[in-house]
């Protein structure tokens, strides 16, 4: 497949540059996905942006895997509009030390995406100009998208419906 | 004697002695949605602004983790509620991509019709409201009637108007009936005249151009830096359109143009949206022609594991009953995988990032909402702008509160 060869070339360029710092490479549905550490994330993003043409930041979000040792994954989607390619980059953080450098040094658009991720997952973006909650109220006290928080008050019995998953 | 002794005349350029804080919103008629901006005003000029959003946050991403795939469609309705069908289709296509479902061509074309109709509805809202906010109520009343006609078509297709829940994973819940096709053809006949009239009223209108041209200019670099997509990005001159860059639903077979602007100001955004309506009309016409050539009566893919069977089948046919039960109870295995799928929504790239762990509900679902990402530039770019310009700037960004807050 054509897409696979393009991804393969990309991966080679990335590994020559970063070597061991690029791990867990997969390609679900043709979208090149890899992991890196939080110390090298800005280097990798900067290299992707300035040298490989992935100059468009599509999205930043996070995923919580409570059973893993490093249970919080920050997920970046980048886009090369000229070559019509997308790439996905993940950084796994441990829950008790969820700190990662902010991508606002590369894109101004990262500002609200990181605020949203902080708001829902409690991940602190170092160097972010204005890291406040964005959709939830300031007094919330918890980070609601973490898996330990149920959707509804667990003490309510009138809405229990195990068969339908709620 | 100086008559202005107590009230000295100040010009626009004289600094005021103190700044005024203005709470624009949360429920202000000019913001067309529930969100707040705290502005510092020096006279009529904005010195600084802070956007506060989240007033209608409904935790869709959390709810989605507790709902099977087909129950998430009604949630997507309520993102950009001005063009719900695009959101619905985007979600169906994400799941179909995950499940590797290939749709019959006729279904793709039906989807194109529905999506382009809702794009027109979305752009009608945005462009007529720019007219309204610059003081031209007539244009609003002229064109808004056609939004009603589009909703009548949706009503014929799925029974609902605004929050449509249109289509199912694998196709549509029912075929378009003859009345729906007749209404679409009637719309295609009448809409161009109205749109032409609308353009005549505004495109070369001196007052309108004075209010919009050169206001809130955005360069392509700035727009890309702030991750803008959709008509806003195209108005700055970048020809990025998901329909062309990553064609879905057979868009690659259609003949259409991607209009771009040059300066990224409000006037360019208005023109880009107008031209996109013309292109949508072209797309719908082509889709109708293509449907003529396809075998009649096909409105969903042959995927009994994922597509709910018809009710009379369920009562009379063993297999259908089993599938019905399995689908409703979520007993169907879906691949453990992650998928990102984007569609061109009314406001830009609407993305769905879905992680499935093989359970009955998504492990994680994230919506890339164009309004949310586009809107973050509003406060920085309002600096130094007149308050009245900031208002039409907001209208031209077409910020939909549902999509902003999710």
Burial class (CB in 10 A: 0-12, 13-18, 19+), B173: middle
CB contact under 8 A, A57 and B227: yes
> Predicted ipTM?
0.92
CB contact under 8 A, A77 and B351: yes
Residue B155, CA distances (Å) to B87, B90, B294 in order: 17, 20, 24
For the domain with range A3-139, which CATH number is right: 3.30.460.80, 1.10.10.60, 3.40.50.300, 3.40.50.2300? 3.30.460.80
Token pair in block for residue B406: 């999710």
d(C-alpha B266, C-alpha B230), whole Å: 14
Distance from CA of B38 to the nearest CA of A (A): 15
**Closest CB to B53 among A108, A135, A145:** A135
Distance from CA of B95 to the nearest CA of A (A): 12
Residues B55 and B33 sit within 8 Å (Cβ to Cβ): no
Residues A35 and A91 sit within 8 Å (Cβ to Cβ): yes
Residues B24 and B36 sit within 8 Å (Cβ to Cβ): yes
Residue with tokens 């009604």: B74
Nearest Cα neighbor of B186 from B223, B149, B158 is B149
d(C-alpha B198, C-alpha A151), whole Å: 47
Contacts of B349 in chain A (CB under 8 A): 58
Token pair in block for residue B330: 């979520």
Residue B148 has pLDDT above 70, yes or no: yes
Question: Angle CA(B276)–CA(B281)–CA(B287) in degrees, nearest 5?
Answer: 120
pLDDT, one tens digit per residue, over A56-113 is 999 999 999 999 999 999 999 999 999 999 999 999 999 999 999 999 999 999 999 9
pLDDT, one tens digit per residue, over A122-147 is 999 999 999 999 999 989 889 999 99
Nearest Cα neighbor of B60 from B377, B369, B397, B399 is B369
Contacts of A31 in chain B (CB under 8 A): 340
Angle between helices B137-158 and B105-133 (to 10 degrees): 160
- Model-wide pTM > 0.90: yes
Name the percent of chain B lying above pLDDT 90: 77
Distance from CA of A20 to the nearest CA of B (A): 24
A22 strand-pairing partners: none
Residues from B in contact with A at Cβ < 8 Å: 53-54, 57, 59, 61-63, 65-68, 97, 224-228, 238, 240, 245-246, 329-330, 337-340, 342, 349, 351, 353, 355, 360-361, 363-364, 366, 368, 372-373, 375-377, 405-406
pLDDT, one tens digit per residue, over A98-114 is 999 999 999 999 999 99
d(C-alpha A82, C-alpha B1), whole Å: 69
Residue of B nearest to A166 (CA): B66
d(C-alpha B138, C-alpha A122), whole Å: 49
Domain boundaries, given as residue ranges, for chain A:
3-139
Candidates A66, A103, A108: best to mutate against B (most CBs of B within 10 A) is: A108
């Amino acid at each position: 497949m054509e897409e696979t060869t393009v991804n393969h070339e990309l991966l080679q360029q990335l590994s020559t540059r970063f070597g061991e710092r690029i791990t867990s490479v997969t390609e679900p549905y043709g979208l090149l996905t890899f992991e890196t550490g939080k110390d090298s994330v800005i280097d990798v993003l900067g290299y992707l942006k300035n040298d490989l043409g992935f100059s468009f930041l599509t999205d930043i979000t996070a995923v919580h895997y409570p059973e893993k040792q490093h249970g919080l994954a920050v997920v970046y989607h980048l886009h090369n509009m000229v070559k019509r390619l997308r790439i996905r980059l993940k950084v796994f953080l441990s829950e008790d030390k969820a700190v990662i450098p902010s991508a606002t040094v590369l894109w101004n658009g990262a500002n609200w995406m990181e605020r949203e991720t902080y708001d829902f997952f409690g991940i602190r973006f170092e160097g972010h100009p204005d890291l406040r909650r964005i959709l939830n109220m300031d007094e919330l006290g918890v980070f609601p998208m973490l898996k330990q928080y149920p959707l509804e008050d667990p003490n309510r019995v009138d809405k229990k419906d195990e068969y339908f998953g709620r | 004697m100086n008559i202005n002794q107590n009230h000295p005349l100040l010009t626009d350029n004289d600094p005021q002695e103190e700044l005024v804080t203005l709470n624009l919103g949360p429920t202000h008629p000019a913001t067309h949605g529930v969100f707040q901006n705290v502005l510092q005003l020096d006279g009529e000029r904005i010195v600084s602004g802070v956007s506060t959003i989240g007033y209608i946050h409904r935790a869709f991403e959390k709810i989605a983790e507790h709902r099977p795939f087909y129950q998430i469609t009604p949630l997507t309705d309520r993102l950009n509620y001005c063009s719900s069908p695009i959101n619905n289709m985007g979600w169906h296509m994400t799941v179909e991509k995950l499940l590797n479902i290939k749709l019959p061509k006729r279904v793709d074309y039906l989807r194109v019709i529905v999506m382009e109709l809702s794009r027109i509805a979305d752009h009608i809202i945005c462009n007529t409201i720019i007219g309204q906010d610059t003081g031209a109520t007539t244009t609003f009343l002229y064109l808004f009637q056609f939004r009603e006609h589009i909703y009548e078509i949706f009503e014929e297709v799925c029974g609902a108007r605004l929050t449509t829940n249109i289509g199912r994973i694998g196709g549509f819940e029912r075929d378009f009936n003859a009345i729906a096709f007749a209404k679409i053809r009637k719309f295609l006949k009448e809409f161009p005249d109205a749109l032409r009239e609308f353009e005549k009223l505004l495109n070369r209108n001196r007052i309108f151009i004075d209010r919009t041209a050169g206001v809130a200019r955005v360069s392509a670099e700035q727009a890309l830096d702030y991750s803008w997509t959709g008509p806003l990005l195209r108005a700055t001159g970048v020809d990025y359109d998901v329909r062309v860059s990553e064609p879905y639903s057979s868009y690659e077979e259609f003949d259409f143009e991607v209009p771009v602007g040059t300066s990224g100001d409000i006037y360019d955004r208005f023109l880009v949206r107008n031209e996109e309506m013309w292109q949508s009309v072209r797309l719908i016409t082509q889709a109708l022609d293509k449907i003529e050539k396809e075998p009649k009566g096909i409105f969903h893919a042959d995927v009994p594991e994922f597509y709910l069977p018809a009710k009379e089948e369920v009562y009379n046919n063993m297999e259908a009953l089993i599938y019905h039960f399995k689908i409703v109870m979520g007993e169907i295995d879906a691949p453990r995988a992650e998928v990102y799928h984007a569609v061109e929504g009314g406001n830009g790239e609407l993305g769905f990032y879905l992680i499935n762990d093989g359970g009955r509900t998504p492990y994680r679902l994230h919506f890339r909402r164009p309004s949310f990402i586009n809107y973050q530039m509003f406060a920085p770019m309002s600096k130094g702008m007149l308050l009245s310009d900031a208002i039409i700037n907001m209208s031209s960004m077409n910020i939909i509160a549902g999509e902003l807050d999710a």
